[in-house]
Structures are given as structure tokens and as C-alpha cells.
Structure 1
């Protein structure tokens, strides 16, 4: 949920960027964020969890966040930008965010298959994420979000959160079946959300 801001605050907004723990680099997303940040500078405070992507030359870059650290970063953020990891999306929504989601593209070496793209597009169609698959759309979403963070906020009551969790898992099962049906996929992707998160909050 967007934070209330005091007029005397030096940092006017906070943006969390999370790429998860996948071993593939996600240079494209990080490069877009770095380019965008040059234009906003000190007006925006960043936390960039870059994982196995080369550390960007921006303040707030960190390789990984523990589950508690990720929760704190999400609670303090005005906007959340992330890859299409199911647990990251779910946690962002639990914290009151409509996440800006950039799915990893296997054609660019960002993942082993296209299940993030399938998953993110299904969630976007259901209104559960703000899908951004190009640099232009990412910049437009960030600009709109900074101008009016409420556009990227969702309700956080417990019943709604549980319903969203069930919806995420249902879409995950649908995408899982789609991926298995695709040629060249020998193993089922791991969509189930585990009970215990790993050190970065991803249940993979």
C-alpha cells in the first residue's frame, strides 16, 4: 500500500525492484530501471534486489533479501516492480500492491522456458498484475505510479488475500498444463507455493 508522505521528506517515493532467486540474469529489466532512474534521481529511493544479474550502479542495490527483509521493503514501497515469480507477486499483493510485472523471456536467456510469460499474461487478463513487457510500458507504468500510487494499490483484507492466493494457484495450474503441453518440455514447472519461503521469499 502506498505510504503516506510528509511534505518535508527528502525521498518522495520508494520503488522496490525484485528479480527473485533464479540463476538466470535479468539484465534487461535492470537496465530499464537504471535508465529510468537517471531521469528521476533523488526524487525516488530504490531497493533493487538483482539476484544473479550484475549489480547495477544505483543506490539500494542488493543481491538477495531475506523473507523478512523482502516483506519490509514491500511494506515501505510505493511501487513494486518484479519478475513473474508466483510467490513474489502474491507477497506484493498481500502488502497492498498491484505489482508491475516483467516476465522473463527464454529467448533472451532469462529463463529455461516461457512459463513466466504465460503466467503473467493470464494474471494480467484477470486484473491481478500490471503487465509490462517492453521498456516503454515499464516507463509509462512507473511514471503513472509515481504521479498517483493509488493506481497500483489493492485491498489487503484477509479474506481478499486468501481469495487472491487461490486465484494465483489456479492460474498457476492452468499455465503448468499449457507448458507441459508445449513441445520440448519434459518436466513440469514447479508452480506450487511451498509452506516455507527460501531466503528471498520465493517458494519454488
Structure 2
């Protein structure tokens, strides 16, 4: 299991004609049947601190984000249109969403689900997103502070969020292979450290409740 740390310039105009002083951030927890409450919990403080940014949140069965435009599920075509114009895109670590980003020429910020609090059943998103980050297809984040830092950079224009369709991504031919084979097993020592970190997190949550 994975460790989880607890630790705007310009004006844009959205499709409704509303001016957004800080641009648009689109966040999707995907269409997975399990909720991804942690993603919403990590987004909430950043949303509170950036009321000038339009946030569109597809939260699925998870929690909405206060102040955002919240949707359980958005029509696929509408979601792709939003992805095409957003300053920042935040996704879960599913393969489908990441491949959509490649087709659109976007580099998303990705928060992989972990097998804690029923987010997902195993470590496959951690392993897959690690491979995608090494190929330069995503900005992989595993802490709340890192998510906030990447969002700040994307909205400010200092984080790369677009790629040239004409440029081949190094190693992209290997992506198809990654999608057709089971993820590699984690080293036993790594898995043990992640289990300890997850247990400490759960204990901390119970003590804080």
C-alpha cells in the first residue's frame, strides 16, 4: 500500500461567457464504482484559497467540492471539451483518462488511487502512473502539497500542460504493452513500508475523529 502525506494571472472566458480571473481547472475522479473522497478532500483547501478559479468537478460516487461546479458524471463529449480548454486537468490514475489526455495533447496532473479506505482494490494505479510519469505523459502526485504546487504552476502557466501532437512521446509504443500486461509486483519491502504508512494514516484519522 502507498504512503499518503497529509501534509493567477490573466482573465479567461468559459463557454457560458463568464469571465474567470484565474482560468479553469477540471477535476475527474473517473467513472469507477468506488468513491475517491481523498481527491475531493485534497482539492477543497485549494478551491477555498482560489475563488477566482473556475473548478469543474466530476466526483462520481465521491464527495463534491464546495464552490466548484459539481457533477456526478459528465457526458464524455462535454468532458473532453472542458479538457481541451482548461488550464489544469486533475485525474485519478486510470488508463482510459490518461490515454484521452495523450489524444488531446494534454499533460494532466494525476492522483493515483491507493488500496486504503476502499479507494481501489490493489496497487495497479500506483504502478501504472509511475510508468506514465517516467514517459513524461503525466505529472504524478502522491501528496496534497504536491497537488497544490502543481495546480499553482498550471494556473500560473509555469507547469507544462500541453504537448505538441506532432512530437512522438519517447517510449509511447510501450504504453500499449503496459495496458495489456498485469502490473509488476511491488518489492516486499516497499509493500511493507506502504502498509505501515497506511496503517498510521488510518490510526491518525480515527484519533482525529
Counterpart of 1:185? Answer: none
CA deviations over 1:104-138 (Å, ceiling 9, x no partner): 00123200111001100111122111010010110
Aligned to 1:178: 184
2-side partners of 1:60 and 1:6: how far apart? Answer: 16
Note if contact 2:12-2:21 (Cα within 8 Å) is conserved in structure 1: no
SS of equivalent to 1:151: coil
Match of 1:168 in 2: 175
Alpha-carbon contact 1:96-1:154 (below 8 Å) kept: yes
Larger-Rg structure:
2
Structure 2 residues not aligned, in runs of 5+:
1-9, 189-209
Number of corresponding residues: 174
TM-score, length of structure 2 as denominator length:
0.74
1:167–1:46 CA distance, 2 compared to 1 (3 A): farther
**TM-score, normalisation: structure 1:** 0.75
Moved beyond 6 Å, runs of 4+: none
Say whether 1:107 aligns with 2:130. Answer: no
**Which residues of structure 1 form unaligned runs of 5+?**
183-204
Paired with 2:137 and 2:94, the residues of 1 have a C-alpha distance of 13
Distance 1:115 1:107 in 2: 13
2:136 to 118, 127, 146: 127
Distance 2:70 2:12 in 1: 25
Distance 1:79 1:108, change over 3 A: same
